[in-house]
A and B are shown apart, each in its own frame.
Chain A
Amino acid sequence: MLSSLIVVFHKLNAFLSTISGELLKQSVELVLLTLVGYMLFVEWRKKQDRELKYLIVGFFALAVARLIAVLFLSQAVFENFFKLFLLDKFTVLINGLEIFAVIWIANTFMYGISDKDEVRKKLRLETIILILGIIFMEVLWVIRLQHLPRSGFLFNFPFAIFEGVKLIILIYPVYYRFKHKVQDVYYNKATIAFVVYSFTPLFNLIRHLFFHGVSGKLTILAHPFPFLAIVLFIRAIFLKLADKRLIETELELTKKKYEETKRLTRIKDEFVSIVNHELRTPLTSIKLYLALLRDKKLGPVTAKQNTAIETMNKESNRLLALINDILDVAKLEDKDADKNIKLNTRECDLHTLLDHQAYKTLADEKHITIVNKIPKGFKVSIDGERFQQIFVNLFSNAVKYTPEQGTICFGATRNRIFKTWQFWIADNGRGIAPEHLKHIFDRFYQADDYLTRKEGGTGLGLTIVKHLVELHRGKIEVSSQLNKGTKFVITIPNSISG
């Protein structure tokens, strides 16, 4: 079995080394190259890609070189054998075209991984050098044909130059790949093709340098590589094209999703804005007229009526707080909150910032003792207004759950090692059960329906606090023991940017 395969292989090789075999090989390559060139051209018409343009030029140049070879080989095979010598006159052109093609193909793959302007400059320079080289070689060729004996080292030397140049151009992308440790998968696939292709000029170079251009074994050995290399190039190119298309489709999808998200965000913003307007407008009227009634601008008010006015005012304040909370959550839960909400960060004295009479009034009703343990002159870099919002939410929560004559204590410490500072607030209220603890920052979550309803609240305060702390690049933690109290600890980096 193996021996018969070897016989077939030898016969095939023997056939390929004849002129008919060469014609067959060149014809197959011509068809293949034309097809690839055409497919690339179709692709290029859809999308004017520079890499594709370079490849088309390269593959068509190779196809033209093969076409010239096929034309003269077929003349030799089908008409007159001696006309084969005519081919000799076109050797410079055929080799020139092949070198030209290799330059363009190699640079195409370089284009995908290297500085695009550099590659363009390199390509232009190499093409100019090549044209000059072809003119020089053409002159050399005429001299060679007219003045040199048809054997010997010098007669074969121009062939050696062609093969040497091809070898250098083919090896350079391989050298580049190892020097720069290129990770591009398509470039690496093409590198294999460059290596495969380079065997042909290598064997031809050896043949022309050391065997006066005549060596049956080296000729046979050099045969299959360009064909194999072309197949490998095609594989690399079409894999890249397919992936590019996939990426483009994904990009298109992502763009559509992005547009859709933008549209929805706009709708949400408009909705929030309209709701805001529609809720605040009647509330403004209510509060203004209540104030006018209270200030007796609309006539005398009895004591009973005054109590009713106060109740209505208190309730409208609750309603306002709810609207503000909902709008705050909508704003803070936006995924672009980081970008949209700018912190007005400045250095604040935390002790003074939180030592406000308004907070004390909140606790007065329940005779709660407030202990401010923040060291005097404790300077931190924060958005003062936002931090007050954090504090108000935590403080009013503590007031809500602390029994009469209880204690609320808050303070701050600095951690110089981690370059952070901590704010803590603790109460001796009824505490939070462990099963509720992990949910307390969820919006609308309330640990105890009955009590919360009795105490009031929307279940949004702690959600807002968490978002505001995160906006300060910080974190909030909570610990609690039932019937003993709850403690919130906020950790914020020393320097934050808005």
Chain B
Amino acid sequence: MEKKDNQNQQKDNKKTLKKEAKEGKATAPKRTVLIIEDQDAIAEAERIILQDQYNVHLASDGLEGLKKARAIKPDAVVLDIMMPHVDGFEVCKQIREDPSLSHVKIVMVTSKNREHDEQKGMGIGADDYIMKPFEPVELLHVLKQMLG
């Protein structure tokens, strides 16, 4: 069922693109990014940074993040590591275990500066890693690299 839905969605996207091309709108549709971050101030700043180029959704903890990821199937997840209840590593693991989210790119954003966290994150399936504090351009660059 899910596969069919995906296929239909892709077909719809293609149709929309063709339509837009005919109408002279050459711009590609915005990709969707889900920010999972428990610090509201940081989440809001990240939203402002990304909103011009992406459709941005916010989740304030790991559990909500997983729910939203399954519901909206984002193209990329910007994932904080240290969060209450379910941490970023667990969220990353569960996203990777979910076949319907296999396409999702994951950027881990952490305040830790320890090498083993980076290795751990990459080991369980994160695609990239940026360390707090970061410049807006860094986040944009990482997402651009991943989503094209």
Q: A251-281: contact bitstring with B at CB < 8 Å (1 yes, 0 no)?
A: 0000000000000000000000100110011
Q: Are B133 and A273 in contact (CB under 8 A)?
A: no
Interface residues on A, range: 20 to 34
Listed A/B pairs (10) with beta-carbon separation below 8 Å: A276-B111, A276-B113, A280-B132, A280-B133, A283-B133, A284-B42, A284-B134, A285-B39, A285-B41, A297-B49
Interface residues on B, range: 10 to 19
Binds B, one of A14-22, A83-91, A161-169, A286-294: A286-294
Q: Which residues of B contact A (CB under 8 A)?
A: 39, 41-42, 45-46, 48-49, 82, 111-115, 132-136
B55 to chain A, nearest CB (A): 18
Q: Are A288 and B111 in contact (CB under 8 A)?
A: no
Chain A residues whose CB sits within 8 angstroms of the CB of B133 once the complex forms: 280, 283-284, 286-288, 316, 320
Chain A residues whose CB sits within 8 angstroms of the CB of B49 once the complex forms: 288, 292, 297
Residue A43 at the chain B interface, CB threshold 8 Å:
no
Residue A295 at the chain B interface, CB threshold 8 Å:
yes
8 Å CB contact of B45 from A280, A292, A316, A324: A292
Chain A residues whose CB sits within 8 angstroms of the CB of B41 once the complex forms: 285, 289
Residue A327 at the chain B interface, CB threshold 8 Å:
yes
Q: Are B42 and A292 in contact (CB under 8 A)?
A: no
Given A280-B132, A283-B133, CB of A288 within 8 Å of CB of B112: no
Residue A314 at the chain B interface, CB threshold 8 Å:
no
Given A283-B133, A284-B132, A286-B133, 4 additional A-B pairs, CB 8 A = A277-B111, A283-B132, A284-B39, A288-B45
Given A281-B39, A285-B41, A291-B136, CB of A327 within 8 Å of CB of B46: no
Chain B residues whose CB sits within 8 angstroms of the CB of A341 once the complex forms: 115
Q: What CA separation (Å) do A276 and B133 show in the bound complex? A: 11
Chain B residues whose CB sits within 8 angstroms of the CB of A291 once the complex forms: 135-136
Q: Are A281 and B42 in contact (CB under 8 A)?
A: yes
Q: What CA separation (Å) do A280 and B42 show in the bound complex? A: 11
Residue A360 at the chain B interface, CB threshold 8 Å:
no
Q: Are A276 and B45 in contact (CB under 8 A)?
A: no
Q: A348-366: contact bitstring with B at CB < 8 Å (1 yes, 0 no)?
A: 0000000000000000000
Chain B residues whose CB sits within 8 angstroms of the CB of A320 once the complex forms: 133
Chain A residues whose CB sits within 8 angstroms of the CB of B39 once the complex forms: 281, 284-285
